[in-house]
Structure 1
Amino acid sequence: MQSRRSCSDWLADGFLTSRNYIVDPDGLRGVPDFQVWCDMAVSPPIAVFHHDQEDRTLINGFEEPGKYHLKVSYAISRQQMKALMKMSGPCSQHVKYECHGALIRNEDSNTAYSWWFADGQEVKSYWPGGNAQVGGCACYKTKSCSGGKKCNCNVNDNAWREDSGDVTDKEALPVTGFRLGDSGGGTEKAYITIGPLKCQN
């Protein structure tokens, strides 16, 4: 089966079923063609890049900052993903972090206990869903974080809390990993769920 540039090109040629399709977004002189899941149930179609860490993952027993290392691996190369993102509409990747006494950052000492990797680059200044300029989590953008903090998890109490959000900056995508800590004492623990990368394509 020949490749097309995008999921929309496959749809335009009459392929209406959501499944893997072969795409070549930048032509013969660009990256090799590759398979991507095309969700044809929406308009425009969504290209979905799955990875090996999409299950909800328990983090427990890792007290020191960044002690737990979670690496996210995709079936295709970074260059192939970037090529498709470049000619796509908006892209996003959702991250959900559930915490029980597990800090993202100690705001009193300004110590990061957990951080992430945006397209392979270490990020400690903000959390997925937050703002790169002002820091914090998604709730900080709406001034709705618990306890007046920059993230719900920074309250660091014995209640289950959550900091979730979408990474939408194409320069920061894909999400490639996390370093997580403050889950080693008493009832401290956390869960992280990393969704696939999705682009209007």
Structure 2
Amino acid sequence: MLNIVLCSLFMLPAVLPQTNNPNSSACTGSTHIYYNYAPDHVAPFIAPERNMQRVQGKSGPRGQKGEPGQKGESARTEGLENRLAKVEEELTLAKRQLDALRVPPSRPTCAYYDELDFESGYYLISPDPTRFQPVYVYCNFSQHSAATIMNHDLTGEIEVERCEARKCSEVSVNYNLPLEVMIQIANLSAECKQYVKFRCQSVFLFRNSPAAAWLSRGGIAMHYWGGATSGRDYYCACGETGNCVDPVWKCNCDKNSAPEALDEGFLTTKDALPVTGFLFGDNGDNEENAWFTLGPLVCTGRQG
């Protein structure tokens, strides 16, 4: 059983245990409150407000940084890739500048790298140090003799523009090297060749009055086709070997018939190469179709 003593209105109520002290009912301000308890009950304990102290706890360790989100990770990867690409570009430029300083005048074509046992790729050559700066060309070392490769802008098979008159359509060829440099490389090489192909339907090349021609390094119209190693006018490869589809003509396309025909081969007249353009005609009707292909200029060996 609890004994309860009420304090004055200016003091907090208190609950004091029963004692033999006559002053036990005096109020002392905020006090602990105790309850008598039965054996099967645990009494609560309330500490006095004036004795309670708040202790600032120490900050715990900061948690680990979370994994970046998908968008953030993608941006970070892209940024690293861009930086890597820039570094690779700068290294390539530095290597080319260094190579330019190392190129001796004795390397005018790829054939002069033969003894170095290099792998195929782009290399600096100096065809004429007194007239031209060193230039990059593709050197093919997989052949018996190293080949200097000079490319142009007419890649793949190209459809011939429609027009009916002879030589009414003109096509220009733009190379990745100045023409004067290419001519010098050709002059310093033992051999040069360039692949040409003409695919036709009811369109002829030469016959007795040429509808087509290829243009030499000097812009001269040449009236023979790839594979005609003799360079005789109105001849194609089949005319040289004697196996054209119609023996009357020296090119397959000169039969001028509806079934598709083909004339192809290498132009090998070094002093006329590279090919600088084409002239085509006899291609104005709907049933007439023609396509042509031009390969890179390939020069091998050393002159003299």
TM-score between the two structures when normalised by the length of structure 2: 0.60
What is the aligned residue count? Answer: 196
1:137 to 218, 228, 236: 236
Letter in 2 for 1:177: G
Higher strand share: 1
Instruction: Kindly indicate whether the alpha-carbon contact (under 8 Å) linking 2:200 and 2:260 is maintained by their aligned counterparts in 1.
Output: yes
Residues 1:24 and 2:126 aligned together = yes
8 Å CA contact 2:238–2:250 kept in 1: the answer is yes
Q: CA deviation at 1:137?
A: 1.2
> Pick from 93, 104, 108: which aligns with 1:5?
108
Identity of aligned residues (%): 29
Q: Is residue 254 of structure 2 the alignment partner of residue 154 of structure 1?
A: yes
Aligned to 2:35: none
Q: Output the aligned Cα RMSD.
A: 1.8
Is contact 2:120-2:142 (8 Å) kept?
yes
Cα deviation digits, residues 19-70 of structure 1 (max 9, x gap)? 21110123x3243321111012223211100001122001252222112211
CA distance in 1, matches of 2:221, 2:109: 31
Q: CA deviation at 1:142?
A: 1.4
Task: Tell me the secondary structure at the aligned position of residue 156 of structure 2.
Answer: coil
Consecutive unaligned residues of structure 2, counting only runs of 5 or more, are 1-98
Query: What stretches of structure 1 move > 6 A for 4+ residues in a row?
Result: none
Q: Name the structure with the higher helix share.
A: 2
Greater radius of gyration (CA): 2
Hey, what's the Cα distance between the residues in 1 that align with 2:189 and 2:162?
Answer: 41
Contact 2:170–2:278 (8 Å) recurs in 1: yes
Q: Which residue of 2 aligns with 1:45?
A: 146
Does structure 2 conserve the Cα–Cα contact (< 8 Å) formed by 1:60 and 1:189? no
Query: Which residue type is aligned with residue 37 of structure 1?
Result: Y
Q: CA deviation at 1:18?
A: 1.7
Instruction: Give the alignment's TM-score, normalised by structure 1.
Output: 0.89
Q: Deviations over 1:102-126 (max 9, x none)?
A: 1112x3xx32111110113332432
Greater length-normalized contact order (CA 8 Å, ≥ 6 residues apart): 1
Query: Aligned AA for 1:10?
Result: Y
Q: Which residue of 1 aligns with 2:10?
A: none
Structure-2 separation of matches of 1:64 and 1:55: 25
d(CA) in 2 for partners of 1:158, 1:172: 33
The runs of 5 or more residues in structure 1 that have no matched partner are none
Aligned position for 1:180 = 280
